[in-house]
Each structure stands twice: as C-alpha cells, then as structure tokens.
Structure 1
Amino acid sequence: MALTDVLELNKTELFTKIRNGLPIVPQTQNLLDCKDDLLYAWDSNESCLLVTNWRVAQLQPESKSAGKQLVSYQTLIPSNTVGLYVDRVVVSNEGSLVALSGPQGVSILEVPRRSGPNGNFMDGKAKITCRTYSLDALLFQNNPQLEVRQVRWHPDSVSDSTLLVLFSNNTIRVYNHTKLRHVWKVGPHTVKTGANTSLSDFGELSVDFDIAPAVKSRNEASNVLSTTTNSLNQSNKTLAAAKAKKERVEWPIVILRENGNIYILLAGIDSEVTRLQGPITISPQTSANYGLESCALLIIPSLPPTVIIAESTGKLHHALLLEAETTEHYLNEVDDGLLIEPSEWTLHVTETVELELGLSSSAANGTSETYNCPMYLKRDLINEMRYFAYHNAGLHIITVNFIAELQRFLDSEAADNQLALASASSAEYILCTKFDSSDRINAVFGIALLQMPAGLVLLLSSGQVISLKLVIDAQLLMTPKDQTLRKVTDAVLEQQGMGPSFVDTIKGLLQRSVSQPILANKLNASSAHERYELLNQSIEVLRSQYLKRHELVRAEFAKRINCIKLQKKQQLDEIKSLEHEREIISERAHKLAERFEEISDNQELLVRRCQKLMQEANTTLPNNVVAEREFTLEVARINKATKSLAAALDTAKKTSNKQRYHIGKSQESGKSSTYELPEKQQRTITDVLTQLSSEIDRQIADIKRMNKIVGT
C-alpha cells in the first residue's frame, strides 16, 4: 500500500467515510478537487462536501508522537439540500466557490473563510453550514431531457464567480453567482419533439468546450476606427474620452461536437452578442476524419494554443490553433436561425497518440477485441507540457514535447531559425484498473492534483485511494553542472555537424511503446485463469519492453566503451608526439629570443649613430636656413656664458666657504676670549656679509635662468 499510497490517505477518516457512500454506477467521474493545500471530496451518501488540509495531514505521525491532536476533515453542509446526482466537483480559480455539477443540474457552494493555525475553515470547526444555491432549477424541471455536459470557471472573472455551463441543447449559459447573465447559442436546437429525429444521430451535439487565451476584439478595433473618423470635428474633450476607453478582448471558446467538428465562439465575459465560427478546417486531410467518436477537449495555453481532442477509442489528436490566411464560410443546413461567421481559424494536427485502454487478455491472445470508453482530460497547472487522461480503465500521463520546441523557436533571435516539430509526445500508463476481458470495470471516481510538492490523488470505484508523487520536470533532476555540460555538448555536436549524443541514443533505446502500469485491486476477485493470463502478459511486456531494451543498451555501452578505448589509445600517442614537438619548439623559441635580444641591441646602436650623423649633416648643409644658423650661434653664446657663470659660481662658493670657515673660527676664538668688536666694525662686517649673500643669490638666480634658456 505504501508504494501506491505515499500519503496514506486510505487510512484517513475522510476517505473511510467516502468509501462507504460511493455511487453505485461505476462510470468515470470526478468527485475530487484540490486548491492550494485543501483537498475537496464529495460525499454522495450524505450529500455534503468534505475538506481536509493534505499538507497538515502529512505531519500526522509527527503530531501524534508530540502528543498533539490529529488534524481531521471538515464537513461543509449545503444550506439547501443538493438533490441532484453529483458527478463533478470544480473549485473556482481563487477557491471561493465550488461548483457541484451533475447531469440534471448545477449547484454553487460558497466556501467560508479560513482561520486558525492550520488554515482550516472557521478555526477548525467540524461541521459548517455553507450557503448553497441551485442554477436554473425550473429549467431542468420543465426540460427533463436536458443534461449538463461541461462546467468551467471563466478566467477573466474579477469576482471569481463567473461560471460557464454547456448544455445538451447546444447552448452555453453564463452565470454570475445566482444570476443568469447570458445564453450563448453554439449549435442547432437538439430537443426531440414528437416524431422528429434527434440531432445526436448526426453527431451535432456539443460534448465539451474549453477557453483559449484572450485575443483582441476585431469588432472593437473597427468600432474605434469608425468613431475616430466620424469625430474629427468634435472637441478635444471628446477625443480624449475616446482614447481613454478601455480596449476590449474576446475569449475564443473552442467547442467540440460528437462528430469531431470544432467550432469557436468569440465572446467577452459581458458580451451580449457573440460570434460563432466553424466548423474550422482541420489539416492535414486524412482518409478517416478526425474525432469520429470525440468525447473530450482540452486547451494548453501555449503560443499558438495547443488543442487536445480525445476519442473514446483511445486516440488523442494534438493540434495547433492557428489564424487562417483566408476566411472560409460554411452553410448551416441544420438550423437556419443560427448565424455562423466565416472561420478565421484553422487546426493543424501535429500528431496522434493512441492509448491502451486496459490490459485485456484477448489482446494478449492475438484477438482483435478492443475496449472503448469515454475519456476525460485534465491539465497539469505546474507543467504546461503535460496533461492527464483518465477513464474507466485507469490513468495516463501524456507529455507534449513539441511545446518546448515552440518555446525555443519563439525565444530564438536567429534570422534563419526554422521550426521543425520533430519531438513526438510520450504517453505513460500510470494506473490500470482493467486487465481482463470481462465487463467489470474499476472506474476513476475522482482525480486531484497536488502542488508543492507535486502529487496526484485518485479515487477508484472500488474505494481504493491512489496517491503518488510526480516529477515536475525531468530536467530538474539534473544538476546545474550537468545541464551546462549537456548544453555545451549539444552545441559542439551541432557545430561539428555530428549526429545525436550518446545520451539521446540511450534514451531512444530505452523509450518504450508500452509501459507496465500499477494494477489496482478490484471489488470482485478475478479467477485463477485470468490471473495466469495477466501474469503471462506482464512477463511478455517485461521481456519485450524492458529486458530486451536493456540488452540493447548493454550492447551499445560495450560498443561505446571499445570505441572510447581506441580513441584513448590514439589520443595518448598523439599526446606523446605533441610533447616531443613542444620540446623542439621550446628550444627553437629560446634561441630565437637570444637572437632577438642581440638584434635589438644592434638596432638601438645603429639608430643612435644615425641620429648623430643626421644632426651633423644637417648643421653642415650649405643651404641651411639663416634662422637655424642664428639659433646655433645663440646656443653657442649661451653655452659660453653659462660656463663663465658656472666658473664664477664656483669662485663665489669657494669664497663663501672660506668666509664661513673664518667666521666659524672667529666665533670659536670669540667664545674662548672676552674680546668683542666695536659696534661700528660689527655693523660693517654684517653689511658686507649681507651684501655678499645677496650677490650670491642673484648669481644663482641668473644661472638657473640661463639653464632654463639653454635647456640643460
């Protein structure tokens, strides 16, 4: 149980209560939903909604060891009894409302505020009465044949309260809380009256819809243009008001019919008038039409949007929703009152993935019997490249790999970049609930996706709960160093024009066309013969899809090792040869360096000699300029004067030193005797010395000035 129930939800009181009141009809439905850290589950027995904090529930063993009170579930009791059969629980985008949908009606339950240490409702109160209201109850009473096909919350709702409901009469009703805002017609009227034939025989019933990313309203753009043209003579105030008008957008609502036709309804959240286009062209054309038994539709908000069309036969068509180069118009022969505009969109099918619906023993015996059942699709909000397909026979996880190629193409700035959708999608059979040829099924009754950490919770019709952990992205398992090395290797291989890397080759060898899913237990035990056939089939899958591929990988590794050994030996020989050449080059470089130093010294000597010769030749030229001659004579005169001044300066320095010597000697003799000069003589000597010092300072200043003039 630990391998298939990592969160140990089978032991919780919530699913014990749910298990005792599961619906009797074993058809695929979704009684679970998750928003943030709250897991919602519908109790069909008591017609109430059970809620638990799954993150806090994971800490129950620690809380029990610490002596704390275990966190239990809360019961949200509707204020008005929900009398309809609920087969779908859908929480709004912000988690403030919960839509309880069934074939014969829709009810909205208002979620109370969260408070308390664990983020429970109303500080952890066990039972809470919540305001509940039904949508168009009289409509279903007056039209018992009317059924609900799909419900989705509108992503553009500011108050998180706009709900879109698709009915079996080809209409979409838009509700805001309890109020009916709009009724959008998306197809011909299909109600059977008297002996008239129902349009379901022709596949004209709408079975599913999804909302694509918003686009700019073309009608709004034309209205703004016409308003600007007509208001040229108006005042500046009117023009400013027209510019300040908010730009409106339209949300393409992609509608799927049973016969595989795709229609698009362009409408804003408050649009009274809508635009219906279709059926849009699906390319490339094939001998068999796409989606003859269509049952589900899903849109992945890539650029361009990716449309998933599911068939009850197990086929999944992956297509890109593109704008058409030219509009195409189709005549509506079923209902003349339905206005259909020329189609502005096309669908380009990139690939078709075929799923295995159960492990039937008849398939193992080679018979052609196949099991078909309605499929339901659910997006993965964490990884946009992945979505889930659940049905009566279990659960598949499909990864659309070409979305990453689209993103790389859009991010690339190269002018010659070309888009080639070469990566095929991968489908993994995670859970199998049907592995024999009998009519017994163990359908999926609920699926909820957990976030942070990523996980998956499945409720089966047998009452078993499957909880698994999911990897957000396989690239996250690689360290940043490995990712950098992988990018560098791919870039080098691309530059060298080489083939795929060894890692890609190994991945290609290990890629399986059939996976061995988890086998869920059933309410009724199978016979010994069926178990024996299942064992043989599992062994055959392990041999053909696992062991055989591992043998191929081992042979590829051996081949790779031999090739690497040969390359290593060759590289070692090349290294020895390069080492010898490096020694020779080093010796030559040393000799060249010595020769270069010698040549550099000789060159410097020759340059000096040339400069001296040029000076002498320039001074002895007969056609020398008069100014140059005068400048030469002036320089010679200044040089002679400088020499005479230098000689006079030396004489003055000697005289000054001699006088200083005599002064010092006289001072010493004066200290030894008490003889003092008369005041007149002392003043005369002081004047003479002052005059000599001034004369010396003047001569020094003249010498410095002469040096500056001469430039020496």
Structure 2
Amino acid sequence: MSSCTDLLHLNEKGLFKDIKASLSSGTKETRNILEIRDNVLYVWNADKCCMLTLNVAATRGKIGEDVPYQTLRPTDPPIFEVTNVLINDSATQLALWSRLGIAIIELPKRWGKDAVYEGGKKEILCMNHNFGDFGATTEIQRMRWHPGSTNDSHLLILTSENSFRLYECDLGDAPRLVKCWKVGRAPSSSPSKIPDFTSLGETAVDFDFATPTLRKPEMFVDKNIDEETIDWNQIEWPILVLRGNGEVLIVRGNVLLENCENPVVLGSLSMYPSTDDNYGIDSCSIMCLQTTPPIVVVAMCTGKIYHAILLREILDDDDDDRKTWSQYGSNYSLHTPDDALYVYECVELELGLLFTDDDKKYNCPIHLHCDKGNKSRYFCSHNAGIHMVSLPMVSQLEELIHDNSGNYLPSLLNQSVLQYLFSTRTKHTNIDEATPILGFGLLQEPCVLIALLHTGIVIDLSVIDLYYLPRIEQLEPIMNTAKKVNKESFDVYIKKLLRRDISQPITKIGSRSMSLSESLELLYHATNIFRTQHFVRHDKVREEISKKVRALKALKSHLLKELDTLMETKKELRQTAERLAERYEDINDKQKELARRAEEVLRLVNYKEPLMTSIERAEAEELKKMDMKIHDMQIRLEQLKKKSAQQTVHTNSTEFNEKRKEIVFTHNQEEAAKENLCHMAKNIKNLVDQVKQIKAEISLSYISKQ
C-alpha cells in the first residue's frame, strides 16, 4: 500500500484484514460503520456480528508491528444489517442502527497500558439492548445522542413518520421511551431511498441540534447572566429539522423534562435571499456548527451545499399578519418561527472526477461530518469520495464577537474553499457501479482522516487546513483600536499563496481496469490541474521562502556579529565588576578599622576628661559610702572571726570536758543555750549576706568606672 494514502499502515493490521474479508459486495449507498473517539477506533464486523476496537494512537509508535485489537461481542447480536455506528461523548455507550432497528451496547471500563478495555482482554462480552419496533412501515431516518443530557444517555430518533422519539438508555437498564411527538403529518407511504421525489416533500430526512438557548430569556433581561446561577432546566437545545423539499423546521422546548409538555414545533424558517425553488427540492442532510451565531449547513443530493447563519428575523410593521398558524391537516398545525436562515454562499461539490463541464454529473446523498477539533471546517462523504470544506466565516464571526468597537463586519469576499481529498468515481464509472464510503473517522492531534472504502481498503491522510486563519490573542489590551495594526505572520502568508480553486483528489476507483484512452484522459486532466493550480503556486511559495531564507541568513549574520560584540562587552563588564568588588572589599575593611579607632579615641577622651558630670559625682559619693560600709563590715567580720575562734576553743574544751565528765544540763540551761545558738546563727547569716552584697556592689561600681 502506498505510504501517501496509508501513513499509519492500517491496511497491514489484522483488524482491517478481518474487516476487508467480512465486507459484502452488494453495498450500494454510503454508510458509516467506523467511529473514532479518544484515539480508539471502533468498526463493525458484519460477518461475526461484533465490534472491533483498536487504539490508533498506539499504532503510531509501532509502524512495523501488528498491534492486537479487541473484540466487543454483544450478548444479543442485532438481526438487522448495521449501517451506522454512533458513540456518545462520554464513550460509555455505543449505538448500532440502520433503517430497521437500533442496538445499544454498553462499553466496558478501560485501564492498563494504552487504556484498553478491561486491561487488554482479547474478547469481551458486552451487554446490549435491541429495540426498533416502530411499525411495519416505519423506518429510522436519523438518530443522535442529545448533547444536553446530564448523564449522556438520551437518544433522539427521527422516524419516517415525521415523528421524534426520545429514549433514555441508562447503564444496566433497557431503553425507556421518554417522549414522542410529531413534526409533520405522516406520509402516505414510507419513503425508500434518497432521493425519492414522490415523498421528499413531506418527510423529514435529517436533523441536528443548534446552540443552546434560554427557555425564558425575559426572566434575565435586567440581570447579569454571568453572575446569576442558571438552572439546567432553563436551558434548551433547539432542533433544526430538514425536509426533503428544502424546508427547515425548528423545535423548541426542553425535551429532557419528562413532566413538561411536548416541545413546540415551529414552521419552516424563512430563508434569505428568497428563491423560487426554495434552495432545492432534493435536500438530504443538515448540520449546525456550534458557533455564535450558529452556522447551518444544508446539503443537496446534486452536490450543492448552502451555508446560512441562524439569526432572529427582523420584521416590518406590515408583516404582522404573517404571525398565523399554518394548517397541515385537521389535527396538526405549525407556528411561524421568529428565526430565519440568512444564506451567504453556495458551494457545489464535484461528485466524481469530471474532466469537462459537458460531462454527465452524478447525484447521490451527501453525509456531513463535523470536526470537533476545528469548527472552521467539516467533511462530506458520499458515493464519489470525500470532500473537506473550510469556512473562513467562522474566524470572522469570532472577530466580530471579540471586537468591542462594533465597527467590524464579516466580509463575503473570503468564500469557503472545497478540497476533494480523494475520489472513488470518474466520468467513465458505470452509473450502477457501487463506490460508496463505508466508514469515516477523524483522529485528532494531529488530525488524521481515516476512511474505509467499498473495496475494503483503508485510507488515512494527514489533514492540513491551509485556509483557517487563527485569531491572534493580544498579550496586553490595546487602548486605541483605531491605530491597531496586525502584522501578518509568514505562515499565514504562505497559506494564502497555497490557496487554490481546484484540488486534485487521490483516485480510488476499485479493481476495474481502465482503458488506455481513459487513463490518458485522466493523466492529462491531473497534469493540467497540477500545472495550473499546484506547480505555479508552489514555485511562488519557493521563491518567497528563498527570499525569506536569504533575509533570515543576513539577519542571522548581523545578529551573530552583534552577539560577539555583546559577549566582548559582557566580558569587559565582568572584569570591571570584579575589580570594583575587590575595591569595595578593601574600602569596607578600611572603613571598619577607622570606625574601631574612632570608638577607641572617643573612649579615651571621655576617660581623661578633668571635670566630672553630675551623674559621675553622684556615683563617686555612692562609692565612698559603700567603701565606708565595707570598712565597717570588715571590722565586724574580724570580730566575728575572733568570736568564732573563741567559740571553737570553748567547744573543744567543752567536748574534752564532756569526755571526762558527763555534764548534765537542766531544762532551762538547754533552752537558753539553744536560743543563744539560734540567735548567733542568724547574726552570722545576716553578716555573710551583707558582705556578699557589698562585694557585688563594689564590683559593679568598678566596672562602670572602667
């Protein structure tokens, strides 16, 4: 397989080998049995009635290896042929559906390496619930997960009887019908395949959710919505319903509230500017981009796509009589809505690789796919291949919202750009030859398109948007917006140069061999497109890049010289700083030495001063008094010492006499001796304390004098 169409080498993986072997050759219409969510690819194997999953992000680092895939086997496989796979945003439930029935599969938990299901078990049995008993003549037109569901479990289904059915699919429980309401009268017969011009005018063929709004905005007229706490039940998600004749209905009301009445179905939206054919009679799909205001995309089976902005309709006073009821039978009526669609452009897809304007055009249903990572583009899959449509209006609306001056208005000069990514049909393909797209998915960061062709071949292309100009955020607010100048970056300038009106898609026309004349015509057509649209622009880009490189080289050499000069200056500054630091240390040491000498001189001057201050005189008098007290204390201390020596001699003699003769004291003599001894001990203690105090005072006085 060529690496330009299989960057991840998915055709070499065992999963897609099994899928290729299980595909039926009788598929005529484009379907979508492939889905990607959180880097995990889900694809339905119709032969074994199971869901195969593969972590596509893990294959990027293992190009030469066959990464094992997991099998999710439902407990009750559906008996109808699965044509579409739809997973909810939280990746907890997966819906398999076709026109005849729906199956809800509860996905298991993911953990372990590469975040695989149940740690990497090869085959997992999953609980599922089948339902779809809508009637023998009722078919499913479209189904979507409701974005306003708090637990991401509400499924909205549009049937061929012009009615909606809302189911709540809680984990572990069977789906429960919450609400059912009509959006038009039931057709006389069930429609078959699109386009069926006998019933397109009376049947709703597709729907999508618009941006959320408040149910009762008049309650918040005088309040700041940013500061108010809004109840979740006050938010509604309007539903845009597309009919086959091009009419767009709008359904308002919070359909998730069970105790609330049925939603209000408003009549067909006015489309401006008005046309005779009401913008086509073979509409097939609708999509609402979540912008402000929302952009509505309506696709026709002929390849025409209309881009419109959903806005509140401004009416004159003469149009008040238009606010009436539109009757559709005896038991059904529609209100006239207050909103309108303002169509600002129409683009036409090239369904198949046509070489001239005289070639017979091919018609088929168009399936629209949004890009969750980039609101400024979407993709179209059909029986002739895949297109990518870039919308510059999205970035202009963002500029309009962030422009506070009110002087900015979107321009219609920057029209949307079509890119034919790859084609499965040419003008030589037979009209009854089936070339549908069986699967479509987007792998984000970076964006890689993965598509499953009718031949079983997988196409994975890296998608680059050359037409989206991101809005540059200012780091600081600009006060004067009139003098605001935005410099165009070089990559944006190169993107503008690479813009082209016609793209050359990669051709995948199956195994049918082409004649020499057909191959030569295809070669001439591709060569002409490359010469006029690619090579000229690439040469211009090469010249601009070379010019930019020369300018950057000259700037680089100048900056290198400036860098050398700055390095020399830095070296000189470092040397000067070191020299100044050494001088500072020397000066600091000298200053400290001078301060110490000044303190010593001041002390000596104060010490040799002939006159004393009053404080010093008072202290001298105090010292004299203390000296006299000390002298008296010393005399008394000498007396005490003499008396103590006498007492010692007397005690010794007394002990000697006691040894010789026992002396017996009377009671009065003992008491008198004890009292004398106690009195003498107290006197001695007081004298010792006074001596210690006098010594301490003498020491303090001497220190203060010094």
Please, what TM-score do these two structures have when normalized by structure 2?
0.68
CA contact (8 A) 1:199 1:205 kept: no
Structure 2 distance, partners of 1:410, 1:335, is 43
The verdict on how the C-alpha distance between 1:103 and 1:155 changes in structure 2, with shifts beyond 3 A counting, is: same
Q: 1:58 aligns with which of 51, 57, 60?
A: 60
Q: SS in structure 2 opposite 1:118?
A: helix
Asked whether the 8 Å contact 2:392–2:468 carries over to 1, the reply is: no
Count the aligned residue pairs.
525
| Alignment CA distance shift 1:549-1:105 (3 Å) | same
Matched, 1:339 2:343: no
Q: Aligned pair 1:182/2:179, yes or no?
A: yes
Alpha-carbon shift at residue 56 of structure 1 (Å): 1.6
Give the Å deviation of 1:332: 3.5
Listed one character per residue, the Cα deviations across residues 187-231 of structure 1 (whole Å, up to 9, x for unaligned) are 1111439xxxx994461211100001111113x968x99xxxxxx
How far apart are 1:153 and its partner, in Å? 0.3
Query: Is contact 1:319-1:351 (8 Å) kept?
Result: yes
* Structure 1 residue aligned with 2:7: 6
More helix by share: 1
The amino acid across from 1:15 in the alignment is F
Structure 1 residues 590-633: Cα deviation after superposition (integer angstroms, max 9, x where no partner): xxxxxxxxxxxxxxxxxxxxxxxxxxxxxxxxxxxxxxxxxxxx
Q: Which residue of 1 aligns with 2:115?
A: 119
Amino acid at match of 2:161: N
Contact 2:306 2:346 in 1 (8 A): yes
**1:254 equivalenced with 2:223 (yes/no):** no
Q: Spell out, residue by residue over 1:389-443, the C-alpha distance to the aligned partner (whole angstroms, 9 max, x if none).
A: 1101111111110111111111012143444444211111111111233223422
SS of 2:397's equivalent?
helix
Post-superposition offset of 1:170: 0.5
1:286 aligns with 2:275: yes
Pairing partner for 2:311 from 322, 335, 343: 322
> Which structure 2 residues correspond to residues 147-166 of structure 1 after superposition, within 5 A?
147-166=139-158
Please name the residue that 1:132 is paired with.
Answer: 128
Q: Which region of structure 1 is more displaced relative to structure 2, 252-261 or 501-510?
A: 501-510
SS in 1 for 2:178: strand
Q: 1:330 to 1:207 in 2, by over 3 A?
A: farther
Give 2:349's match in structure 1, choosing from 338, 344, 355: 355
1:601 aligned residue: none
> After the TM superposition, which residues 657-672 of structure 1 pair with which residues of structure 2 at under 5 Å, given as runs?
none
Selected match of 2:385 from 366, 373, 394: 394
For residue 109 of structure 1, what is the aligned residue in structure 2?
Answer: 105
Q: Find the aligned partners of 2:54 and 2:525 in 1 and give their Cα distance.
A: 40
| Gap change, CA 1:244 and 1:7, over 3 Å in 2 | closer
Tell whether the 8 Å contact from 2:8 to 2:60 is kept in structure 1 after alignment.
Answer: yes
Matches within 5 A, 1:448-527: 448-471=441-464, 510-527=498-515
Displacement of 1:121 after TM fit? 1.2
What is the deviation of 1:510? Answer: 4.7
Structure 1 residue 426 corresponds to structure 2 residue 412 = no
Q: Deviations over 1:157-197 (max 9, x none)?
A: 1221100111111111101111011112111111439xxxx
Matched residues in 2 for 1:395 and 1:303: separation?
Answer: 27
Could you list the runs of 5+ residues in structure 1 that have no partner in the other structure? Answer: 65-69, 226-242, 565-659, 665-685, 695-712
Tell me, in whole angstroms, the C-alpha distance in 2 between the residues paired with 1:88 and 1:183: 23
**Matching residue of 2:264:** 275
Encode CA deviations 1:28-60: one digit per residue, 9 max, x unaligned.
Answer: 000100110210000111211111111122233
Q: 1:82 to 1:495 in 2, by over 3 A?
A: closer
Alpha-carbon offset, residue 108 of structure 1:
0.6
Structure-2 separation of matches of 1:114 and 1:466? 27
Distance 1:86 1:426, change over 3 A: same
8 Å CA contact 2:205, 2:284 repeated in 1: yes
Are 2:80 and 1:48 equivalent residues in the alignment?
Answer: no
Residue aligning to 2:674:
none
The reply on whether 1:265 has 2:254 as its aligned counterpart is no
Give the Cα separation in 1 of the matches to 2:284 and 2:232.
Answer: 38
Question: CA, structure 1 residues 454+544, in 2 after alignment: closer, same or farther (shift >3 Å)?
Answer: closer
Report if the CA contact (8 A) 2:326-2:335 is conserved.
no
Inter-CA distance 95–506: structure 2 relative to 1 (3 Å threshold): closer
Q: Distance in 2 between matches of 1:207 and 1:392?
A: 18
Could you say if the C-alpha distance between residues 530 and 382 of structure 1 is closer, same or farther in structure 2, counting changes exceeding 3 Å?
A: same
Task: Output the CA distance in 2 between the equivalents of 1:80 and 1:413.
Answer: 57
Judge conservation of contact 1:375–1:391 (CA < 8 Å) in 2: yes
1:528 matched to 2:529? The reply is no
Q: Which residue of 1 aligns with 2:623?
A: none
Q: 1:114: Cα distance to partner?
A: 1.2
Give the conservation status (yes or no) of the 8 Å contact 1:378–1:389. Answer: yes
Share of identical aligned residues, percent?
A: 31
1:269-295: CA deviations, max 9, x gaps?
224321111211000123442132111
> Quick check: 2:352–2:385 contact (8 Å CA) kept in 1?
yes
